[in-house]
A and B are shown apart, each in its own frame.
Chain A
């Protein structure tokens, strides 16, 4: 990422409601191409709700405004956002039995590019990206997330990230449920995406992914708000001190 990289995503005054409860209480972000943000916070602080709300999950009501590549995308449906280059790597990817990884991905890539991708070209690219993530080619013929291990699911999310080439991606707890080898592979995938100028927000409550993916910006998220923003050193501080020391800040209504 260079300093003059363009801004790919912004959100302002974002609030998210689940049923009648406000779980995100005013968040502002600006992410540039190739820039990696980490949002860290304790369990139940509303991090995943932020990710789901931003993408447009129907059970999460969103307030505030979003832009993607300079365009207002606030009121758009999840599929319109996706076609314009927004992506969410799920914490719990959903199984769709009977639909192969390959046919799903081809439909998704075609939707993203706005044109049917020729089979041969698609296949070549898919096999390349799968090799990059150390995935068996037979994986392409399996049914989407059906009976996948936690690690396989997360790897598939990163494969989608690389295939769909969004301009902005939210990664929701992509590091959870991974052993160390899988974690390294997933981290390489995230770094490769950053190299391709994808701006990213990683939501996590562990430091361990940050050993392999170096964030440019770290936000601490507590009780529905960003309570502190800093550089990579902030993640290390959290690792040492936990979140308790920031509680007074959270109680005071954020940074």
Chain B
């Protein structure tokens, strides 16, 4: 009956819970800056096949040739100093499959973040990435028996080169945008998942990403393939220490849902407020396939991320459900893209953003329906909640509909956490803080109810922390 989980732990903040860092004693660390030498070094260290080495170098050329985006928060983007970032850092010599083998300082970090505990409780497989490499990886035996492959991307490339070569970069080519080119040049870590036909992974697989070093770049690369009729749910979470300098996180995530397959990809992004989070995520859905992006952005300095679904086969369905919380100094520029290529495909985009104090949120969406794709349906809903007089939100919903036989619904709403709602709740005895939190929790409820219980509680707790000390 109650929808708002009760949360203890009041009064703790990001710095204490996630903002700590370990001494930077690393096994291998590339020199600062980006060059063909650094790319070469990464590829050699990983003993990659020639095609991947060439792919990386070509991608670097693309990155260098492409201008920075001229849209979005260009002022913030210009602050990125690509020469002052370390592109590859390996903390440990090898990957571990038991927590005991993980080096003490790294283990302490993940212990503090509650990862081993989460694995024991409710996950089918876990991968934990620290800086550039996956340091821990484990998967339940049943899954391996079912033929499910769940590896870090580097091991995926080594052990399943044929599958990787066939699909890598097919959904998001290196040249897609400047940051996908950057990722293609210096990628390291991330997950590789293959689920065989008609196989259901009943409990979620999880990846946890941690940046520890200062002025670091993390460029994980994830490829998930659900074969015909397969089903999988993947969850990722991320945190980093609080530094005064900025770090860069630029991931590429490709999902391939074959005929009748179902993929749900859930993200709880909680980077510290010194991280640029510039991520490209895209899925291709074949006939009758379903792809769902459940995307929560709480942290980072600037996020630019628009999870996309290409509905390639008839009756495919794509869904993007996102929330963004922009506190002081943060800009959450998020949204969704759906392309209807085939007939009778359907999509739904629900975007909720909260901007507090000087926080800024932007919804940027694109829905395309190709000529000849008949009987398509799409529904877009954006809700923005503003807290405080300085908070800002912008909505850029673009529709390119080249077909007449299509049903389009669009709804956008901006509301202010207002005096009337607060007065109503306070007149029932709730304190001002309690009332604000209740309103915000209610606002994100449609998102929270899609999360597994543990994540729902965690997310509500994060929001509670963000809401503390709101201006009245």
Give A residues with C-beta under 8 Å from B.
55-59, 77-79, 81-83, 87-88, 90, 93-94, 96-100, 102-104, 106-108, 111-112, 119, 123, 140-141, 143-144, 160, 164
Contact = CB atoms under 8 A, between A and B. Distances in A.
Contacts of A78: 423, 426-427
B1 A82 contact: no
Contact of A98 (B424, B432, B441): B441
Given A96-B438, A96-B439, A98-B442, A106 B2 contact: yes
B1 A79 contact: no
Interface stretch (B115-123, B197-205, B443-451): B443-451
Contacts of A111: 428-431, 434
Given A58-B423, A107-B434, A143-B442, A99 B3 contact: yes
Contacts of A140: 1
Given A78-B426, A112-B429, A98 B444 contact: yes
A77 B442 CA distance: 23
Contacts of B439: 96, 99
A174 B292 CA distance: 45
A99 B432 contact: no
B425 interface: yes
Given A99-B4, A100-B2, A58 B419 contact: yes
A103 B426 contact: no
Contacts of A90: 424, 427
Contact of B1 (A55, A108, A141, A143): A141
5 contacts: A97-B443, A100-B2, A100-B3, A104-B425, A111-B429
B9 interface: no
Contacts of B432: 77, 79
Interface residues of B, number: 27
B90 to A, nearest CB: 44
Contacts of A103: 1-4
A39 B222 CA distance: 68
A112 B431 CA distance: 11
Name which of B421, B427, B443 has the most chain A CB atoms within 10 A of its CB.
B427
A222 B425 CA distance: 30
A77 B424 contact: no
A205 to B, nearest CB: 22
Nearest to B435: A79
A96 B1 contact: no
Contacts of B443: 97-98
B431 to A, nearest CB: 5
- Top 10 A-B residue pairs of the complex, sorted by shortest distance between their CB atoms: A98-B442, A98-B445, A111-B429, A99-B442, A82-B429, A108-B428, A94-B424, A103-B2, A79-B426, A78-B426
B1 A160 contact: no
B420 interface: yes
Nearest to B442: A98
A99 B444 CA distance: 10
A71 to B, nearest CB: 16
Nearest to A106: B2
Contact of A96 (B2, B419, B425, B427): B425
B426 A98 contact: no
Contacts of B428: 79, 82, 104, 108, 111-112, 160, 164
A85 to B, nearest CB: 10
A79 B444 contact: no
Contacts of A87: 427
B427 A79 contact: yes
B423 A57 contact: yes
Interface string B402-442: 00000000000000000111011111111110110011011
Given A55-B423, A97-B442, A108-B430, 8 more contacts: A79-B428, A97-B445, A99-B4, A99-B441, A104-B425, A111-B429, A112-B428, A140-B1
Given A58-B419, A79-B432, A100 B1 contact: yes
A121 to B, nearest CB: 13
Nearest to B418: A94
Contacts of B435: 79
Interface string B1-35: 11110000000000000000000000000000000
A100 B421 CA distance: 15
Nearest to A110: B429
Contacts of B429: 79, 82-83, 108, 111-112, 164
Nearest to A58: B419
Contacts of B438: 96, 99, 104, 107
Contacts of B421: 94, 96
Contacts of B4: 99, 103, 107
B341 to A, nearest CB: 35
A86 B429 CA distance: 9
Name which of A88, A93, A100, A107 has the most chain B CB atoms within 10 A of its CB.
A107
B83 to A, nearest CB: 46
Contacts of A88: 427
Contact of B426 (A82, A100, A119, A144): A82
Contact of A59 (B3, B419, B444): B419
A56 to B, nearest CB: 8
Interface string B317-328: 000000000000
B444 A102 contact: no
Contacts of A119: 1-2
